[in-house]
Chains A and B, each alone.
Chain A
């Protein structure tokens, strides 16, 4: 059906653009590679987990950084977690900001941390939106009876 192929092409292009912009990297491809009959929703599950985790972490970070006496150890721990998660699913830009964030944390640079936090939140929102769009496209393809192209 023309609709399916159109959808598929849309999907492919969209995904390609994500890679081009650097929002996602090849780790995401790996994840998709792990999805098979025994594990059909692997990617979605992992990504949802990522969203949950990240939101929690970002809230924690906001709270910690807005306190009077900033506990940089806690900040470091949270950023580390975020970095790990983002690299596991291939959210490249988020991961990069996390690296910078961690450095600021080690330097006890509150200004830098706050700035990084803003950036991370920004990037996270981007990747979240994009992935949600991607999944929606997937659903549409599946609903139209097609198979999701790799």
Chain B
């Protein structure tokens, strides 16, 4: 071929084609360049895209392809070698990249597919979570309902309200058609329809308790679905077209107080249950859901608790009412008893007086009669009258005393008395009677027995007389020994008597008296009965033994009042017996000094006839009365100084004066004030003279004022010589004298 340099323009023939190719290549290149840009942009935007490398590869591939096509533009015409080189490079690169991409794609496609599966999986999971959320929400709502229900139920303690509220709230919460409660009857053989929600049924409908469906419900503590046809669920007359809703029944335990035992929760068989029946609305195609059933069970339990609270409340109310009634009855009985005692006491007081007056007359006149001239027969008669009336008088006293002792209204007259003389008197009283019966009576007083004691002298003597009298009465021969001593602490501790608890103290001592006789004795079996009222010892009773049987009972009361103990020992019939008693008496010196003791019964053991040299100070503003008193005292041998005013008195008074007589009734001289001043002047008791008030009017107030200011005595003017003599004697011996009012 001719190498011609003539270039044949190939344009005109294929120019159009060329143009189109040119344009297409250009656009392809453009597209190829822009797609990766877009891709990059989007990848940049979404940060999660995991296959960046692939994209890069892909991008590179596209770019290169584009480059290829672009470069292709230059190859339509004559092009230099460089262009061809570039073109070749580009193509090569493109080939490489595209192959790599292809290979890579093969690799990543399964991954991409699994992404899809994972996505599906996640979607499912999300759906599940949603469902669960829904469930939890429902449960929470249910819980709220339960709490609200519980609150409603427990906010009242009235049984009916509780049950009614339960049904109402349940009905509302669960949107029930009907809700009913069957309670067991008293006989526990039937269930009675007690409450319904809509009250369309006659209440009072009963079903027997032993139906299988009921047993099924009772045997589990879950809510059980039952058939709508069962008798407990058939609460309304069924209209044919209704498709009844599902019915659930649950047991409600009825708890009683007696059911609660600590280690032993009661088993089912002993429990009573009520039946709660819940019906969903008919034709609603609703079903019982688990959470609803749980709600029902929880509510049933709460109702059980609330009911038990209500039951407890009812019982406590009933108990309280019962107690109130009993209280009223007791109060009434007490008041009646008090009235009776008052009436009895009034009666006794009256009878006391009424009975004693004639007795007194009889006794007094009979004894007077005894003193007159009588024939022997008359004397005998009078003596019998006297004896009988004495007995009667004693009986009256005994009965009155005993009844006073019984109701505890007797109080001991505590005073200081001569203990020795009490026993001596008893001995003297008993001796003649005993000698008639040819019994010898020996009295043995212990050496350490206090001469004076504080206690009830009269009743102590009564007791001793009674005991000794019994000894004499029931002994036909032999002797009687009376031993009196102070019970020592060791011997006291031996006593195991049921109601005797001796307590040692410095102010008191326990006097022990033992009366032993050699008489007929007592059967040991009869010993306990001795102290009961009116019980005579039948084995030795003769009509003549007399006595009402009250004596020992009264003695026991007295001894008990004196915080002591009395008992009798006997070896048996015919072996004599020993009566013992212990009583608590006070020591006279050691009693509290604040009370000035009154010693009206004390006789001065020895009356001085004269008081030679006794220094006495007399204060009286009345000249006449002063000289009289002075004369009186001088007659008795005293050394008398007289003063007529307080100032004179205070000047003259000294330790030498042993006794001071002052007139306190004088207006103008405050004898009381003076007494106080004397006390201040002479603080020590033995330095102070004895202060005696002389007064013309003696009454309680004067006496009390004198006592209050610390006077040692009060005497009434006018004073005779004898009186002054005995007054001075007593004052000097005892430093105290208050004339009896």
A8 at the interface (CB under 8 A from B): no
Query: Number of B interface residues, CB 8 Å?
Result: 22
Q: Which residue of B lies closest to A89 (CB)?
A: B624
**Bound Cα distance A79, B621 (Å):** 13
Chain A-chain B contacts (Cβ-Cβ < 8 Å), number: 74
Interface centre among B622, B665, B720 (most CB of A within 10 A): B622
**Bound Cα distance A42, B627 (Å):** 9
Do the beta carbons of A84 and B625 come within 8 Å of each other?
Answer: yes
**Bound Cα distance A84, B624 (Å):** 8
B residues in contact with A30, CB < 8 Å: 632, 718, 720-721
Do the beta carbons of A84 and B634 come within 8 Å of each other?
Answer: no
Q: Mark A105-126, 1 if CB is under 8 A from B, else 0.
A: 0000000000000000000000
Q: Which B residues, 593 to 649, have Cβ-Cβ distances below 8 Å to chain A?
A: 621-625, 627-629, 631-632, 634-635
A residues in contact with B635, CB < 8 Å: 33-34, 36, 39
Stretch in A14-22, A43-51, A131-139, A140-148 with 4+ CB within 8 Å of B? A43-51
B residues in contact with A89, CB < 8 Å: 624, 628
Point out the residue from A26, A36, A38, A85 that lies within 8 Å of B624, measured CB to CB: A85
Do the beta carbons of A80 and B665 come within 8 Å of each other?
Answer: yes
Do the beta carbons of B721 and A34 come within 8 Å of each other?
Answer: yes
A residues in contact with B634, CB < 8 Å: 34, 38-39
Q: Knowing A38-B634, A39-B635 touch, does A85 contact B721 (C-beta < 8 A)?
A: no
**Bound Cα distance A30, B634 (Å):** 13
Shortest A50–chain B CB gap in Å is 5
Do the beta carbons of B623 and A49 come within 8 Å of each other?
Answer: yes
B residues in contact with A39, CB < 8 Å: 631, 634-635
Q: Which residue of B lies closest to A82 (CB)?
A: B622
A70 at the interface (CB under 8 A from B): no
Point out the residue from A73, A76, A81 that lies within 8 Å of B622, measured CB to CB: A81
A residues in contact with B621, CB < 8 Å: 81
A58 at the interface (CB under 8 A from B): no
Shortest A112–chain B CB gap in Å is 20
Majority-rule SS of A interface residues: helix
B residues in contact with A34, CB < 8 Å: 628, 631-632, 634-635, 721
**Bound Cα distance A142, B490 (Å):** 77
**Bound Cα distance A76, B314 (Å):** 81
Q: Which A residues, 26 to 79, have Cβ-Cβ distances below 8 Å to chain B?
A: 26-27, 30-31, 33-36, 38-39, 42, 45-46, 49-50, 52-53, 73, 76-77
Do the beta carbons of A87 and B631 come within 8 Å of each other?
Answer: no
Do the beta carbons of A49 and B627 come within 8 Å of each other?
Answer: yes
A residues in contact with B632, CB < 8 Å: 30, 34
Point out the residue from A35, A46, A80, A81 that lies within 8 Å of B627, measured CB to CB: A46
Q: Knowing A81-B622, A85-B623 touch, does A27 contact B631 (C-beta < 8 A)?
A: no
Do the beta carbons of B718 and A45 come within 8 Å of each other?
Answer: no
B residues in contact with A35, CB < 8 Å: 631
Point out the residue from A38, A87, A90 that lies within 8 Å of B696, measured CB to CB: A87
Q: Which B residues, 650 to 693, have Cβ-Cβ distances below 8 Å to chain A?
A: 663, 665-668
Q: Knowing A30-B718, A34-B635, A80-B667 touch, does A45 contact B627 (C-beta < 8 A)?
A: yes
Query: Number of A interface residues, CB 8 Å?
Result: 30
Q: Which residue of A lies closest to B723 (CB)?
A: A30
A residues in contact with B718, CB < 8 Å: 27, 30, 87-88, 90
Q: Which residue of B lies closest to A25 (CB)?
A: B718
Shortest B741–chain A CB gap in Å is 20
B residues in contact with A73, CB < 8 Å: 667
Do the beta carbons of A85 and B622 come within 8 Å of each other?
Answer: yes
Shortest B706–chain A CB gap in Å is 18
**Bound Cα distance A39, B627 (Å):** 12
**Bound Cα distance A49, B663 (Å):** 18
Q: Which residue of A lies closest to B635 (CB)?
A: A34
A93 at the interface (CB under 8 A from B): no
B717 at the interface (CB under 8 A from A): yes
B residues in contact with A76, CB < 8 Å: 667
B residues in contact with A84, CB < 8 Å: 622, 624-625, 663, 665-666, 696, 717
A residues in contact with B627, CB < 8 Å: 45-46, 49, 88
Point out the residue from B625, B666, B721 that lies within 8 Å of A88, measured CB to CB: B625
Shortest B6–chain A CB gap in Å is 187
Do the beta carbons of B696 and A83 come within 8 Å of each other?
Answer: yes
**Bound Cα distance A144, B718 (Å):** 34
Shortest A49–chain B CB gap in Å is 5
Q: Which residue of A lies closest to B668 (CB)?
A: A77
Point out the residue from A26, A36, A80, A88 that lies within 8 Å of B628, measured CB to CB: A88
Do the beta carbons of A85 and B625 come within 8 Å of each other?
Answer: yes
A residues in contact with B629, CB < 8 Å: 88
**Bound Cα distance A81, B638 (Å):** 26
Shortest B621–chain A CB gap in Å is 8
Q: Knowing A39-B634, A80-B665, A80-B667 touch, does A53 contact B720 (C-beta < 8 A)?
A: no
Q: Mark B698-741, 1 if CB is under 8 A from A, else 0.
A: 00000000000000000001101100000000000000000000
Do the beta carbons of A42 and B631 come within 8 Å of each other?
Answer: yes
B residues in contact with A33, CB < 8 Å: 635, 721
B residues in contact with A36, CB < 8 Å: 635
**Bound Cα distance A80, B721 (Å):** 24
**Bound Cα distance A49, B627 (Å):** 9
**Bound Cα distance A80, B627 (Å):** 17
**Bound Cα distance A9, B302 (Å):** 123
**Bound Cα distance A33, B628 (Å):** 11
**Bound Cα distance A33, B724 (Å):** 13
Q: Which residue of A lies closest to B637 (CB)?
A: A38
Point out the residue from B623, B628, B663, B665 that lies within 8 Å of A53, measured CB to CB: B623
B residues in contact with A27, CB < 8 Å: 718
**Bound Cα distance A41, B555 (Å):** 63
Shortest A46–chain B CB gap in Å is 5
B residues in contact with A49, CB < 8 Å: 623-624, 627
**Bound Cα distance A112, B564 (Å):** 64
Do the beta carbons of A50 and B624 come within 8 Å of each other?
Answer: yes
A residues in contact with B666, CB < 8 Å: 80, 84
**Bound Cα distance A33, B667 (Å):** 30
A residues in contact with B625, CB < 8 Å: 84-85, 87-88
Q: Mark B174-213, 1 if CB is under 8 A from A, else 0.
A: 0000000000000000000000000000000000000000
Do the beta carbons of A77 and B667 come within 8 Å of each other?
Answer: yes
Q: Which residue of B lies closest to A77 (CB)?
A: B667
Do the beta carbons of B622 and A31 come within 8 Å of each other?
Answer: no
A residues in contact with B720, CB < 8 Å: 26, 30
Q: Which residue of A lies closest to B631 (CB)?
A: A34
B residues in contact with A50, CB < 8 Å: 624
Shortest A53–chain B CB gap in Å is 5
**Bound Cα distance A86, B627 (Å):** 13
**Bound Cα distance A90, B635 (Å):** 18
**Bound Cα distance A86, B628 (Å):** 11
**Bound Cα distance A52, B635 (Å):** 24
Shortest B724–chain A CB gap in Å is 10
- 22 pairs, A vs B, C-beta closer than 8 Å: A26-B720, A27-B718, A33-B721, A34-B631, A34-B632, A34-B635, A35-B631, A38-B634, A39-B634, A46-B627, A46-B628, A49-B627, A53-B622, A84-B622, A84-B717, A85-B622, A85-B623, A85-B624, A88-B622, A88-B625, A88-B628, A88-B717
List 4 other contacts, CB 8 Å, given A49-B623, A88-B627.
A34-B632, A34-B721, A39-B635, A84-B663
Interchain residue pairs A-B with the least CB separation, the first 8: A85-B624, A88-B625, A84-B622, A88-B628, A34-B631, A34-B635, A88-B624, A50-B624
